[in-house]
Chain A
């Protein structure tokens, strides 16, 4: 049997707005993925640790507080340190256009902004997971 795609849905930082994270987690579940949801208030260390422990193929992060540049960069740094840079990383939330090119340059594969259908994110992950 084919292994299900494993995805970690994570909320880095102190932001408590988890409606989007929960909706996307459920959409991935309905699409047949193995979903691990971290809950809110995770440090970058917590997230990378969970990604390693759970042997995931993809990390999907959500932030609405504006702290994305710092927190996402930190996650990418740690992912490199832990040798999991082949894990696909995607993100969503209130992220202004001008930050998107920077976030892509540090290795985040795609940023999904408000109004994106969950099915786009699901298709994107299916097409782009590397392992």
Chain B
């Protein structure tokens, strides 16, 4: 790319000898090594030499293969990313109120957080649900709760993201039944279901069934939506939680794409055409502290996915090769100390996500190392996005960091390291096999431990935690999720069970059981069960009977 590279090399060496070395000898640098979270050593400066092998075709134009610079030709000059704040707690009623508040404040997409019993397929009256109902999200036992949750929200106008995995098919069925009742054609529904079970086994933990039947449910959703809900994103393949569990930036991408490859293979072996479903695969990444590494990560991610789809899966349709992703700022970087500092962390992470070309973004609130966020904290988090969008000017041109010697070099480096990992995992027999062997879990745990030790040795500074600490005695107003709501939810469930047509429910569950024992697509059966107010716990209970439960291997 540069004609005068040998001249630059000569001059750089001269500069090192004459300027840099004498200076460093006299005044040693702050650290012996500067490195990214992925362990790449960072040089003092980057020059055209570092981009010597750079070929502009490898970067390309936005909206064109390999999409390094973004998936749309004009990116945020046309339309800003979707500002989508993840929310849900206490009850459907209270969560509905929070969504309306967020909509008033300017969010442009909904994002539903479900409580843990809902995520692992138990009703609120299950023994294992005690103490957990409404704590980390909204409890959904039956269609009734979903009706209350979405009351007064125009689901034909707004896109909805649902963070639900093992029990995804049930919640999606509920959403579809609500659309049907409101007279909204399925073709008009826009949204995303997380539906990424593989990362649950390695990072997030809300699995129910063993790998094989779980993959069947995942691909049943692919198949059903491809035919009937054409604008729906059938999965959000997530690196977010892998990163939160302790992975480095490179590991985040590598394990996410290894999982993605597994899903694509599973869908193809079910008989689906790659170009029919691939345009509806979406991704979910973490935006962490190291600004440049994160921007390079997002750019590399687009290029890697484009290559995988084109070269490995022989996709023909350009939109099959486009990596579309949601981003969330890194929860694990928030500190419980001097919590207002978290606003600044989130701002930097927001910048990384936007400079990296995200399609949608959730910004964390300052108080999330203490509890669920208050309304005021959530508003500040949303304002952070709005300030970056409307005031900072970073959205005025596409991929503004392209061409930086450092960014391009990091982008290449991340791509190379990610493909090395992917190859290693493929040699093991793919992601599912690597998970079974505990390989991915071990890699993540090692990185998490290393990160913690760096903090404890103060090789990694966390402001307010291991440096610049203060005594804090001030009482903070934090959100409290009260226990009475749990009792109320159980009463409601009892009422629903008494009032519904129980004969219809048992018939629907029986039919579902038969279908689950065979290999038909289960979506229509689950829709039937949901429609007559069969509960999530009952439906997952039937599937538990047929499929059994996942037994994790314990890796420290």
Show the binding face of A for B, using Cβ within 8 Å.
13-19, 22-23, 25-27, 29, 35, 37-41, 43, 65-67, 69-71, 74, 94, 96-97, 113-115, 117-119
Indicate whether B372 reaches chain A with its CB closer than 8 angstroms.
yes
Which residue on A lies nearest to B462, using beta carbons? A115
- Is B452 part of the contact surface with A, judged by Cβ < 8 Å? yes
State how many angstroms separate the Cβ of B367 from the closest Cβ of chain A: 10
Report how far A117 CA is from B332 CA in the complex, Å.
15
Contact assessment for B456 and A119 in the assembled complex, using a CB-CB cutoff below 8 Å: yes
Q: In the complex the two chains form, is B117's CB within 8 Å of A115's CB?
A: no
Residues 117-133 of chain B: 1 if any A CB is under 8 Å from the residue's CB, otherwise 0?
Answer: 10110100001111110
> 20 new A-B pairs (CB below 8 Å) besides A14-B119, A65-B135, A115-B369?
A14-B116, A16-B205, A16-B206, A22-B556, A23-B246, A23-B449, A25-B556, A27-B452, A41-B128, A43-B127, A43-B128, A66-B135, A69-B483, A70-B483, A96-B370, A114-B369, A115-B336, A117-B455, A117-B456, A118-B452
A115 to B122, CA, bound (A): 33
- B interface residue numbers (CB < 8 A to A): 116-117, 119-120, 122, 127-132, 135-136, 200, 203-206, 244-246, 332, 335-337, 369-372, 445, 448-449, 452, 455-456, 462, 465-466, 475-476, 478, 480-481, 483, 552, 554-556
Task: Give the complex CA separation of A60 and B280 in angstroms.
Answer: 43
Assembly CA distance A74 to B132 (angstroms): 13
Contact indicator A37/B120 (Cβ below 8 Å): no
Please measure, in the bound complex, the distance between the C-alpha atom of A23 and the C-alpha atom of B253, giving whole angstroms. 22
> Looking at the complex, which one of B120, B128, B372 makes contact with A66 (CB distance below 8 Å)?
B372
Q: Name the residue on B nearest A73 (C-beta).
A: B131
Q: Is the CB of B552 within 8 A of A40?
A: yes
Contacts A14-B132, A96-B478, A113-B336 given: A19-B246 contact, CB under 8 Å?
yes
With a cutoff of 8 Å between Cβ atoms, the chain A residues found around residue B136 in the complex are 15, 65-66
Contact A39 B554 (CB under 8 A): yes
CB <8 Å contact, B135 and A17: no
**In the assembly, what is the distance between CA of A18 and CA of B552, in Å?**
13
A97 and B552 CA atoms in complex are apart in Å by: 33
When the two chains form their complex, are residues B456 and A16 in contact, meaning their CB atoms are under 8 A apart?
no
CB<8 Å pairs between A and B, sample of 14: A14-B122, A14-B206, A16-B200, A18-B245, A19-B448, A22-B556, A23-B452, A26-B449, A41-B128, A67-B132, A74-B131, A94-B370, A96-B478, A114-B369
Bound CA span A67–B128, Å: 11
Shortest 6 CB-CB contacts between residues of A and residues of B: A16-B205, A70-B131, A14-B116, A67-B131, A66-B135, A114-B336
The answer for the CA separation of A49 and B277 in the assembled complex, in Å, is 48
Name the distance in Å between B201's Cβ and chain A's nearest Cβ: 10
Determine the distance from Cα of A40 to Cα of B335 in the docked complex, in whole angstroms: 24
Contact A114 B135 (CB under 8 A): no
A69 to B335, CA, bound (A): 22
Name the residue of chain A whose CB is nearest to the CB of B135: A66
Most chain B CB within a 10 A radius of its CB, from A14, A39, A65: A14
B335, A114: Cβ atoms under 8 Å?
yes
A44 to B321, CA, bound (A): 47
Q: Is the CB of A14 within 8 A of B369?
A: no
Interchain nearest-CB distance for B457 vs A (Å): 10
B370 touches A70 (CB 8 A): no
B127, B136, B332, B555: residue with the most chain A Cβ atoms closer than 10 Å: B136
Say whether chain A's binding surface is mostly helix, strand, loop, or mixed: loop
Residues of B within 8 A of A113 (CB): 336
Note all chain A residues with C-beta closer than 8 A to B456: 117-119
Residue from B117, B119, B244, B481 within 8 A of A19 (CB atoms): B244
How many angstroms between the C-alpha atoms of A39 and B201 in the bound complex? 12
A residues within 8 A CB of B335? Answer: 114-115
- Please judge, given known A-B contacts A26-B445, A66-B136, A115-B465, whether A19 and B556 are in contact too, CB under 8 Å: no
Q: Which A residues lie within 8 Å of B127 (CB)?
A: 43
Residues of B close to A94: CB separation below 8 A: 369-371
Neighbouring B residues of A39 by C-beta, 8 Å: 552, 554
Residues of B with C-beta under 8 A to A69: 131, 483
What residues of B have a CB within 8 angstroms of the CB of A66 in the complex?
135-136, 371-372, 481
Question: Which residue, A17, A41, A66, A69, has most C-beta atoms of chain B within 10 A?
Answer: A66
Query: Complex Cα distance A101/B465, Å?
Result: 23
What is the minimal beta-carbon distance from B382 to any residue of chain A, in angstroms?
22
A27 to B455, CA, bound (A): 13
Are B449 and A65 in contact, with the CB atoms below 8 A?
Answer: no
Complexed CA–CA distance, A18 and B332 (Å): 12
Contact for B130 among A70, A97, A115, A117, CB less than 8 A = A70
A17 CB contacts on chain B under 8 angstroms: 204-205, 244
| B207 closest partner in A (C-beta) | A16
User: In whole Å, how far is A16's beta carbon from the nearest beta carbon of chain B?
Assistant: 2
Minimum distance in angstroms from A10 CB to a CB of chain B: 12
Give the Cβ gap from B268 to chain A, nearest Cβ, in Å: 30
**In the complex, what's the smallest C-beta–C-beta distance from A30 to chain B, in angstroms?**
9
CA A91 – CA B370 in complex, angstroms?
15
Given known A-B contacts A19-B448, A26-B556, A65 and B116 have beta carbons under 8 A apart: yes
CA distance A131 to B371 in the complex (A): 35
Shortest B165–chain A CB gap in Å is 10
Q: Which B residues are CB-close (under 8 A) to A114?
A: 335-336, 369
Residue of chain B at shortest CB distance from A115: B465
Contact partners of A97 in chain B: CB under 8 A:
475-476
- Contact A96–B371 (Cβ < 8 Å): yes
| CB neighbours of A119 from chain B (8 A) | 456
In the complex, chain B residues whose CB is within 8 Å of the CB of A16 = 200, 203-206
Which A residues are in CB contact (< 8 Å) with B135? 65-67
In the complex formed, the residue of B with least CB distance to A13 is B132
- The CA-CA distance from A65 to B481 in the complex, in Å, is 11
Contacts of B465 in A (CB 8 A): 115
B464's nearest neighbour on chain A, judged by CB, is A115
Q: State A27–B457 Cα separation when bound (angstroms).
A: 13
Compute how far the CA of A15 lies from the CA of B204 in the bound complex, rounded to whole angstroms.
9
* Distance of A29 Cα from B445 Cα, bound (Å): 14
Candidates A29, A35, A41; contact of B205 at CB < 8 Å: A41
A94 to B373, CA, bound (A): 12
